[in-house]
Amino acid sequence: MKKYTIGIDLGGTKILAIVVSDKMKVVSRSKCKTKSALGIDGTGFRMKESAEEALGDAGLSWKDVGNIGIAVPTSVDPQTGDALHAPALGWKNQPLRTRFQQIFRKKIFLENDGNLGTLAEFKCGAAKGFKHVVGYFVGTGLGGGIIVNGKMHTGVRGCAGELGHEIVEYHGRKCGCGKLGCIEAYCSKTAFCRQFQKLIVADGMKSILSEYADGDFKGIKSSVLAKCYNAGDKITCRVLNGGFYMLGLAAANQASVIAPECIVFGGGVMEALSQKAMPFIKKGFVENLFALSPNDVKLKISRFGDDAVPMGAAVYAIEKGEV
């Protein structure tokens, strides 16, 4: 068996490639912007370049690499192991895995990003040792994943675990998916930015965020959000804390369906804020929980932070590769 595995997170805004050793240690990483307009092949080559850069930094080459796992922002068919559509990237009717395999000339394992982030935390992170686990990943969107009886639950056509599109408010805020009231429209960077745009630009409220955004809050970084949040900026705290409360409520809904022992919260935004979001998530969770006691369900912050999704991709490629 080759000693190293590549895990790649193909996100809507960035590509993150990591090299993982057979001891499940991240030995190097490389990041670049996703340019989905380049299409599947162009993006495939960007992922390959990122992986090569990470390998180079660790003094390794392709001959040291076994399988490759790629996390995609869409559902993956468990029958074929491939995905035909990636709405977040604007791709339709193209077999992603088949095309990526031609570019990498290696065996590739594809799975949904939220599922893989949850898998990483379950296998070797914050949720290790639990059998039933739910994961939420707050990034540009809101990813999710479910582990039941120690197994990733993917459901019909791989569509399970799309926790970001659970409706938490009837006829509520418009979500990127076209529906109204999805939790992603309340707790994701896209949702936060829309609120800033409304409160600061349209309603003229004052915020130190304006110093970083130049009137357009779309591309605002998690680190800037954390900075303004930690500085106690009223608008930032109001928007984020409101979103975290709603996330806790969504998690309580899931708890009544799955009754998990542990719920993990990760993603770029969570990592930047560390434990500070937790009291608000917990409040939303406890106030809306049914049957279970808050003590039955451990709420935890992701151990791997930004690496959770690519780490899960690597874990998945290693496990699948051995079968």
Pick 85 or 179: Cβ nearer Zn ion:
179
Q: How many residues bind Zn ion (CB under 5 A)?
A: 5
Pick 179 or 282: Cβ nearer Zn ion:
179
Q: Could you say whether residue 175 binds Zn ion (CB under 5 A)?
A: yes
Q: Could you say whether residue 182 binds Zn ion (CB under 5 A)?
A: yes
Please state, in angstroms and rounded to a whole number, the distance separating the CA atoms of residues 243 and 237: 10
In sequence order, what E strands does the chain have? Answer: 4-10, 14-21, 26-33, 65-72, 108-112, 133-138, 142-148, 151-152, 262-266, 298-301
Residues 148-167 that bind Zn ion (CB under 5 A): 165
Pick 96 or 175: Cβ nearer Zn ion:
175
The angle that helices 308-322 and 113-124 make with each other, rounded to 10 degrees, is 80
Window contacting Zn ion (CB under 5 A); options: 7-15, 78-86, 175-183, 312-320: 175-183
Pick 183 or 273: Cβ nearer Zn ion:
183
Please state, in angstroms and rounded to a whole number, the distance separating the CA atoms of residues 190 and 141: 6
Task: Show the site string, 190-229: x = touches Zn ion by CB under 5 A, - = not.
Answer: ----------------------------------------
Per-position DSSP letters for 81-130, written without gaps between them: S--S-BGGGTB-S--HHHHHHHHH-S-EEEEEHHHHHHHHHHHHSTTTT-
- 276: buried, middle or exposed (CB in 10 Å: 19+, 13-18, 0-12)? middle
Q: Could you say whether residue 179 binds Zn ion (CB under 5 A)?
A: yes
Token duo for residue 228: 């303004």
Least Å distance, CB 141 to Zn ion, is: 9
Least Å distance, CB 144 to Zn ion, is: 12
- 164: buried, middle or exposed (CB in 10 Å: 19+, 13-18, 0-12)? buried
Report the sign of the C-alpha dihedral through residues 51, 57, 61, 66, in that order.
negative
Pick 169 or 319: Cβ nearer Zn ion:
169
Q: Could you say whether residue 173 binds Zn ion (CB under 5 A)?
A: no
Window contacting Zn ion (CB under 5 A); options: 182-190, 201-209, 252-260, 273-281: 182-190
Least Å distance, CB 179 to Zn ion, is: 5
Pick 69 or 144: Cβ nearer Zn ion:
144
Count, residues in the chain: 323
The SS3 call for residue 175 is: coil
The SS3 call for residue 282 is: helix
The one among 26, 32, 58, 177 contacting Zn ion by CB under 5 A: 177
Pick 18 or 83: Cβ nearer Zn ion:
83
Q: Could you say whether residue 281 binds Zn ion (CB under 5 A)?
A: no
Give the binding site for Zn ion (CB under 5 A).
Answer: 165, 175, 177, 179, 182
